Amino acid sequence: MKTKRPSKQRKQLYTASGQQVRKLMAAPLATELRATQHRRSYQVRRGDTVKIVRGDFAGVEGKVTEIDRGSRRLFVEGVTREKTSGSSGNVSVHCSKVVITKLNLDDKWRAEALKPVGGKEVKEAAQQ
């Protein structure tokens, strides 16, 4: 966001393109992942394992089954609520309320994007 005015910031959120929304849907990494990946947060993707840290389902850990970019929410395996009709329905969670505990690295491009470029590993190798 390049503006400090709240009304303009809201407008940019609502009119963001799909690529911008994908970047906005990032979640912090768990402390173990931060050490190995050398980054603080990353975009959430289907197949990642996340732990919910706030809200009614705090403490629940599961895989991301679906991502809704329109409402900027994600659905986690095992997070359901019983409806009045008796059936159970999935409950959406905002990506700021979760922590990524395990990344889905099946995609070779995602694994390549996570490699550090000029990061800590490169500096440590140069010192040795």
pTM for the full predicted model? 0.84
Report yes or no on 53 lying in a domain: yes
Spatial strand order of the sheet with 61-68 comes to: 88-94, 73-82, 61-68, 49-52, 98-102
Q: What single letter denotes the amino acid at residue 73?
A: R
Tell me the pLDDT tens digit for each residue of 71-108.
Answer: 999 999 999 999 999 999 999 999 999 999 999 999 99
Report yes or no on 114 lying in a domain: yes
* Structural domain containing residue 32: 25-127
Question: For the CA atoms of the chain, what is the radius of gyration?
Answer: 17
What CATH number does the domain containing 53 carry?
2.30.30.30
Report yes or no on 5 lying in a domain: no
Report yes or no on 30 lying in a domain: yes
Report yes or no on 119 lying in a domain: yes
Tell me the pLDDT tens digit for each residue of 23-69.
Answer: 999 999 999 999 999 899 999 999 999 999 999 999 999 999 999 99
Domain count, the chain: 1
CB atoms within 10 A of CB 100: 25
The length of the chain is 128
Report yes or no on 16 lying in a domain: no
- Taking 60 as the threshold, does the pLDDT of residue 128 lie above it? no
